[in-house]
Amino acid sequence: MSPKITGELLRQLRQAMKNCKYFSEPIQAYIVPSGDAHQSEYIAPCDCRREFICGFNGSAGTAIVTEQHAALWTDGRYFLQASQQMDNNWTLMKMGLKETPSQEDWLISILPENSKVGVDPWIIAADQWKNMSKALTSAGHSLVAVQDNLIDVVWMDRPERPSTQLRTLGLEYTGMSWQDKITALRTKMTERKVTWFVATALDEIAWLFNLRGADIEYNPVFFAYAIVGMNTIRLFVDLKRLSDPALRDHLQLDSPSKPELSIHTYPYESVYTELQAICAAHSPKDKVWICDKASCALTQVIPKAHRTPIPYTPLCLAKAVKNESEIQGMKMAHIKDAVALCELFAWLEKEIPKGTVTEMSAADKAEELRSQQKEFVGLSFPTISSVGPNGAIIHYRPLPETNRTLSMNEVYLIDSGAQYVDGTTDVTRTVHFGTPSAFEKECFTYVLKGHIAVSAAIFPNGTKGHLLDSFARAALWESGLDYLHGTGHGVGCFLNVHEGPCGISYKTFADEPLEAGMIVSDEPGYYEDGSFGIRIENVVLVVPAQPKYNYRNRGSLTFEPLTLVPIQVKMMNTEMLTQKEREWVNEYHRKCREVIGAELERQGLTLVQSNPFAEFCNCSAVIIVCIFLIILCVSHSASFVKPLYQQFY
Amino acid sequence: MSPKITGELLRQLRQAMKNCKYFSEPIQAYIVPSGDAHQSEYIAPCDCRREFICGFNGSAGTAIVTEQHAALWTDGRYFLQASQQMDNNWTLMKMGLKETPSQEDWLISILPENSKVGVDPWIIAADQWKNMSKALTSAGHSLVAVQDNLIDVVWMDRPERPSTQLRTLGLEYTGMSWQDKITALRTKMTERKVTWFVATALDEIAWLFNLRGADIEYNPVFFAYAIVGMNTIRLFVDLKRLSDPALRDHLQLDSPSKPELSIHTYPYESVYTELQAICAAHSPKDKVWICDKASCALTQVIPKAHRTPIPYTPLCLAKAVKNESEIQGMKMAHIKDAVALCELFAWLEKEIPKGTVTEMSAADKAEELRSQQKEFVGLSFPTISSVGPNGAIIHYRPLPETNRTLSMNEVYLIDSGAQYVDGTTDVTRTVHFGTPSAFEKECFTYVLKGHIAVSAAIFPNGTKGHLLDSFARAALWESGLDYLHGTGHGVGCFLNVHEGPCGISYKTFADEPLEAGMIVSDEPGYYEDGSFGIRIENVVLVVPAQPKYNYRNRGSLTFEPLTLVPIQVKMMNTEMLTQKEREWVNEYHRKCREVIGAELERQGLTLVQSNPFAEFCNCSAVIIVCIFLIILCVSHSASFVKPLYQQFY
């Protein structure tokens, strides 16, 4: 990975910062957040401004350019990657380390007195604007909104904003019509005495209208805004997209059932002026709900007295709690995904000894196998396929210049997932095709202990995810180890693979209590820089638990793994596992074999192997040997209550 | 416990709320926070306004009175107590339960349009004022500062503000002169470009000047304010207190060593006008540091542009990290305290069968035994001495009308502590003098598992306490149980028994990372309403740990128990403990025996018992039989690596 050469770009940007055509006075610093106008995590190529200016293409990071300096803030997942992608015009600011200044503190420490710090108000969230503005003001500087984006000014070949075809989702997938979702939203609005709701997050809009797009790679969303009143619904979207009769029918554009469920469509760009018009016609008591993560530009259209900023919207919470149809879809998607991954591992086992499989070809094979599954739409994020030292780059993505060959001598980590029409998957497995070292096994086992501690945890209804984060770390901590990322994120249903408002992290912001029906990932890891990376990730469903007692009738919750891909026993130091942990592994593998085994068979991909396993396999013409399911078969006839190390070599 | 009759008082208060003598217009609601002008947790009798108006005397709670309603918000520790102390004019608002509205939401739901909500600006913290004001304003109401406290208006026999004698502490206790503390504070101020610091928390002022008072029961503090500039020090205190020559010498009032270390003294009440004068003479660049928990009245004296509110002050953090002298003092205090408690349990064992010991007499005996220890000053909080169902009232304090007799049939919980000149203690033990039920033992063992999980945890430097809270609950949660309070609080050194900015709680506000030298409590519990209460509490010191690895050179921490009082083995279901947990208990008891045994001997309070224990005891004239140390002696000659249940009967 060679760094992007940014000297000339920075020179041009600094010239634009001084040019009074863009702002009435020269600005001394310019902030380039990583988001788009919807504060999306993944963004369309036209919105990759932070990557364009500094070269770093990770999913999170903020660049700041001053007259003398250029610095990029990112978190532990990306320290290595960012340092490799940026040239020495840039200083890497490692967030989460004690010695790293915040963006505000850094600006205050280097800016001349009375400086102006510019930012595009559409791509900074209102809450970030507020915090940054307050800090700068208290130090005698000011944060100013520069309407023309200065990166766009220097970005000669910036791509167009995409406008892909929209897909409608029926009740069998969504479990709830968009009309019912609107009605439920209005009930919430009535409860809180709110008269208008502005939806700006793309996944919330897609969820609300039971529509999907492909405007942003990996995320089946489309560029849009929506404003919902008690009697009106306004959808802002490229109007060219609305010609399809099936789509018009789905949205009842031509014959709405009821006037209050009639959708009025407007061009995407007109949201600003429409919202202005709505606010101008405000009654003095009207309150407008908008997420505090919405863009500063749109937020500030709403007069402060009428604005009710919320850390997450009612749609965000409703979307997080999956209904029966969505849960069923997610289960189906995970079964298909597990089949593809089992095929992949079988293929790898066969091909790796030939020395021809690389990180990139393995990722391609994974995609190919997934694409053979029913209702496959695309990947849910760029596959992290990493061998040996590349595994320590937490959000690594193989590129031609970094592409390593898989071998019998190094740990292989693959974190991948897909979008199916019925659900979204995200799974990480870490495997070794030869003999792992004692240290690799030791670390893997700590990570496994953490994974199990979260997955098997029982906790009261109403518990926030951050209270579970340390369970994932306790075994690592006890040996002085740790990992610099959260333990889990919410997962959408044929939507964004990362979604709020719940998760499992030491970070506590916008962390809503877990409730039955929510779906999160459980993915502790360990990364030995320059050597290997380990992560074990399942997507898990929050389900009610029935422990012995029920304190104050609060009820208890636990997790049910949706991901059903075996965990490599060879990587475990089974001596380090407690009896309970062994039982968890055995029960998990029993379920993998039962559910995925049946699906492999159904798909005609059954297992055939030498004698001991034959009993498990109803022989078939198509023979795919799955390394992991073989491991499971070893003790098929043995009792699962035996200690693990007796079952699995 | 019979409730306070409040009908007439509420009538008078509501009359005052309508009286334009106190505020230009009638107010529709009046908020009565529990704090004083220093936001102290424990308060002087003259400041017990919330207790006066509603009858509830717990340490935390806010009362709000409107024309029609009266409601009190408090947390899980106090649900039972508050419901018993208040009459039916009052509604109990159980904080932490999902269905309980916040104060703001409740006010908004019941107030007529455009209401005025009054509060005394001296006893509401600036951050609380801000949040409350914002919420009310957004709903069309307003929060107004009523300068005369309306409770004082209706409180005929309100006591005087105390002004007790001040005590100076030498370097042997404090480890650092007040002059060095001032210099260290100024270094922090310079780093952050701050020119003035306003100290309002009583314990911070006591710590800063190495002085102690007795103005507030249990807390060795005195009413004062301090304002520290880069060259001046202003101390606001009842000037009558400064006549003692030793005190004048300690503060160098008559012959300061350097001008910038000369203390200027002012009457307590003049802080408002002095701060006004300082702010009036401000240079435009002057910044004033004040805690965001300081009173709204004092905070608003400082013009907003100059004000730098911080969630905790540099004194608060410096005070939390104990130096070697303070740690040594805390260790000594805990040894003396353990001796007193061992004596108490021996006495209880002897006296309980006679049927004459009550919750109150046991508490008195504990105080008497503590008071016999060197440098005893007083209790550090009201002793919680509770039998059977009273144990389920988390912050129970025995009163004549609730006083139960200790028996062989019920669980006894005693949570107590003392102030010694060298340190502050806080310890809870739960014991049974007969045969505990299987359920009592089961619950006790879950609590013990939680206690050990925290105490033995190893975690990275920089970890915040809230990340450890779930360790204390995991065993309870697994069985569907929980407790509705935090797991630990900071503990001062001959200062407040509850102090910030660190702690161990599911609540995450103002939670600073743990570092070596901090001292916190570890006190999980379980409360079976109407039946029994269990809590196991040690005060523990944060110390460096040396695990096998040292990820990114961050270093690791763990806890060392300062409390050395045995934990009753009879209450444990040892079958439920893991090998590691058994080893922890054995090692803890080994240390208790070694350290407290030696001190018992030194004090001539050695143990004599029938044969098996004789070897442990160097016979002495004074014979006190300590039930707990006897338990420890049972296996004195046996190896401690044996499973616990083999060692102890």
What pLDDT, on the 0 to 100 scale, is given for residue A286?
87
For residue B545, list chain A residues with Cβ-Cβ distance below 8 A. Answer: 480
For residue A194, list chain B residues with Cβ-Cβ distance below 8 A. Answer: none
Nearest CA in chain A to B284: A140
What pLDDT, on the 0 to 100 scale, is given for residue A510?
63
First to last CA, chain B: 40
Mean pLDDT of B620-624: 32
How far apart are alpha carbons A577 and A586 in whole angstroms?
12
pLDDT at residue B501 greater than cutoff 90: yes
B527 in contact with chain A, both atoms CB, cutoff 8 A: no
- Tens of pLDDT along A362-377? 999 999 999 999 999 9
What pLDDT, on the 0 to 100 scale, is given for residue B637?
29
**Least CB–CB distance from B467: residue in A458, A469, A554:** A469
| Angle between helix A126-138 and helix A103-110 axes, rounded to 10 deg | 30
Q: Tell which residue, A368, A318, A396, A354, has the closest CA to residue A80.
A: A396
B170 in contact with chain A, both atoms CB, cutoff 8 A: no
Q: Which burial class, exposed, middle or buried, applies to B240 when counting CB atoms under 10 A from its CB (0-12, 13-18, 19+)?
A: exposed
How far apart are alpha carbons A359 and A382 in whole angstroms?
12
pLDDT at residue B292 greater than cutoff 60: yes
**Torsion over CA: B486, B487, B489, B494 (sign):** positive
- Tens of pLDDT along B509-556? 668 999 999 999 999 999 999 999 999 999 999 999 999 999 999 999
| Half-sphere exposure at residue A37, Cβ-oriented, CA atoms within 13 angstroms | 17
Identity of the amino acid at B486 = G
Interchain contact, B477 vs A460, CB within 8 Å: yes
For residue B305, list chain A residues with Cβ-Cβ distance below 8 A. Answer: 138
Nearest CA in chain A to B191: A109
How far apart are alpha carbons B304 and B88 in whole angstroms?
43
Whether this model's ipTM surpasses 0.90 comes out as: no
| B139 to chain A, closest Cα gap in Å | 9
What pLDDT, on the 0 to 100 scale, is given for residue B645?
26
| B459 to chain A, closest Cα gap in Å | 5
Least confident of A350-364, A404-418, A508-522, B484-498: A508-522
Map residue B65 onto helix, strand or coil.
strand
Identity of the amino acid at B262 = S
pLDDT at residue A612 greater than cutoff 90: no
**Least CB–CB distance from B470: residue in A467, A545, A556:** A467
Q: Position of tokens 């102006």?
A: A116
For residue B547, list chain A residues with Cβ-Cβ distance below 8 A. Answer: 477-480
**Least CB–CB distance from A548: residue in B479, B547, B550:** B479
**Least CB–CB distance from B548: residue in A457, A479, A556:** A479
Pairing of strands A288-291, A196-199: parallel
What pLDDT, on the 0 to 100 scale, is given for residue A561?
98
For residue B464, list chain A residues with Cβ-Cβ distance below 8 A. Answer: 506
Sheet holding B224-229, edge to edge: B263-266, B233-237, B224-229, B196-199, B288-291, B307-310
pLDDT at residue B463 greater than cutoff 60: yes
Interchain contact, B477 vs A470, CB within 8 Å: no
Does residue A629 contact residue A597 with C-beta atoms inside 8 Å?
A: yes
Percent share of chain A, pLDDT over 90: 84
A599 in contact with chain B, both atoms CB, cutoff 8 A: no
B468 in contact with chain A, both atoms CB, cutoff 8 A: yes
B300 in contact with chain A, both atoms CB, cutoff 8 A: no
What pLDDT, on the 0 to 100 scale, is given for residue B510?
64
Q: Tell which residue, B470, B479, B575, B565, has the closest CA to residue B524.
A: B470
Interface test mutation site (partner A, options B110, B141, B468, B482, max chain A beta carbons within 10 A): B482
What pLDDT, on the 0 to 100 scale, is given for residue B271?
97
What pLDDT, on the 0 to 100 scale, is given for residue B618?
30
pLDDT at residue A190 greater than cutoff 60: yes
Interface test mutation site (partner B, options A194, A477, A485, max chain B beta carbons within 10 A): A477
**Residue B156, Cβ neighbours under 10 Å: how many?**
7
A649 in contact with chain B, both atoms CB, cutoff 8 A: no
Nearest CA in chain B to A505: B467
For residue A481, list chain B residues with Cβ-Cβ distance below 8 A. Answer: 549, 551
Mean pLDDT of A222-239: 97
**Least CB–CB distance from A467: residue in B459, B506, B551:** B506
Q: How far is CA B440 from CA A14, A458, B173, B511, B528, in A?
A: 71, 21, 42, 33, 9
How far apart are alpha carbons B109 and B89 in whole angstroms?
19
**Least CB–CB distance from A477: residue in B140, B458, B477:** B458
For residue A302, list chain B residues with Cβ-Cβ distance below 8 A. Answer: none
Map residue B78 onto helix, strand or coil.
helix
Does residue A544 contact residue A557 with C-beta atoms inside 8 Å?
A: yes
Mean pLDDT of B223-234: 97
For residue A550, list chain B residues with Cβ-Cβ distance below 8 A. Answer: 480
First to last CA, chain A: 40
For residue B138, list chain A residues with Cβ-Cβ distance below 8 A. Answer: 287, 305, 308
Nearest CA in chain A to B504: A467
Identity of the amino acid at A88 = N
What pLDDT, on the 0 to 100 scale, is given for residue A629?
46
Q: What is the per-residue DSSP string for B312-377?
A: S-HHHHHHHB--HHHHHHHHHHHHHHHHHHHHHHHHHHHHGGGT--BHHHHHHHHHHHHHTSTTEE
Residue A621: pLDDT band (50, 70, 90) is very low
Residue A633: pLDDT band (50, 70, 90) is very low
**Least CB–CB distance from A480: residue in B140, B468, B548:** B548
**Least CB–CB distance from A547: residue in B471, B480, B506:** B480
What pLDDT, on the 0 to 100 scale, is given for residue B138?
86
A468 in contact with chain B, both atoms CB, cutoff 8 A: yes
Interchain contact, A551 vs B480, CB within 8 Å: yes
- Tens of pLDDT along A449-459? 999 999 999 99
What pLDDT, on the 0 to 100 scale, is given for residue A509?
66
Residue B145: pLDDT band (50, 70, 90) is very high
pLDDT at residue A624 greater than cutoff 50: no
How many helices (H) and strands (E) in chain A? 21, 28
What pLDDT, on the 0 to 100 scale, is given for residue A1?
66
* Mean pLDDT value across chain B: 91
Q: Position of tokens 């599911």?
A: B506
Mean pLDDT of B292-313: 91
How far apart are alpha carbons A426 and A435 in whole angstroms?
27
B462 in contact with chain A, both atoms CB, cutoff 8 A: yes
Least confident of A362-366, A548-552, B621-625: B621-625
| A111 to chain B, closest Cα gap in Å | 15
**Torsion over CA: B42, B48, B49, B51 (sign):** positive
| A481 to chain B, closest Cα gap in Å | 5
* Mean pLDDT value across chain A: 91
Mean pLDDT of A600-614: 60
A114 in contact with chain B, both atoms CB, cutoff 8 A: no
What is the token pair recorded at B110?
């019941």
The residue that leads in pLDDT, B12 or B637, is: B12
Q: Tell which residue, B263, B278, B581, has the closest CA to residue A578.
A: B581
For residue B551, list chain A residues with Cβ-Cβ distance below 8 A. Answer: 480-482
Residue B418 is inside which H or E element, if any? strand B418-420
Torsional class of B325: left (φ above 0), alpha (ψ -120 to 50), beta (otherwise) = alpha
The residue that leads in pLDDT, B127 or A48, is: A48
B474 in contact with chain A, both atoms CB, cutoff 8 A: yes
Nearest CA in chain B to A113: B285
What pLDDT, on the 0 to 100 scale, is given for residue B634?
32
- Tens of pLDDT along B423-460? 999 999 999 999 999 999 999 999 999 999 999 999 99
A547 in contact with chain B, both atoms CB, cutoff 8 A: yes
* pTM for this entry: 0.89
Nearest CA in chain A to B471: A471
A281 in contact with chain B, both atoms CB, cutoff 8 A: no
pLDDT at residue A630 greater than cutoff 90: no
Q: Position of tokens 């217009």?
A: B25
Buried b (16+ CB within 10 A) or exposed e, B221-237: bbbbbbbbbeeebbbbb
Q: What is the per-residue DSSP string for B239-283?
A: GGGG--HHHHHHTTSSS-SSGGGPEEEE-GGGHHHHHHHHHHT--
Does residue A112 contact residue A28 with C-beta atoms inside 8 Å?
A: yes
| Half-sphere exposure at residue B428, Cβ-oriented, CA atoms within 13 angstroms | 31
- Tens of pLDDT along A344-364? 999 999 999 999 999 999 999
Residue B284: pLDDT band (50, 70, 90) is confident
> Mind spelling out the 3-state secondary structure of A528-584?
ECCCEEEECEEEEEEEEECCCCCHHHCCEEEEEECCCCCCCHHHCCHHHCCHHHHHH
A549 in contact with chain B, both atoms CB, cutoff 8 A: yes
The residue that leads in pLDDT, B606 or B492, is: B492
pLDDT at residue A644 greater than cutoff 80: no
pLDDT at residue B109 greater than cutoff 80: yes
Residue A537: pLDDT band (50, 70, 90) is very high
**Least CB–CB distance from A470: residue in B140, B471, B545:** B471
Mean pLDDT of A65-91: 94
- Tens of pLDDT along B185-197? 999 999 988 999 9
B556 in contact with chain A, both atoms CB, cutoff 8 A: yes
A338 in contact with chain B, both atoms CB, cutoff 8 A: no
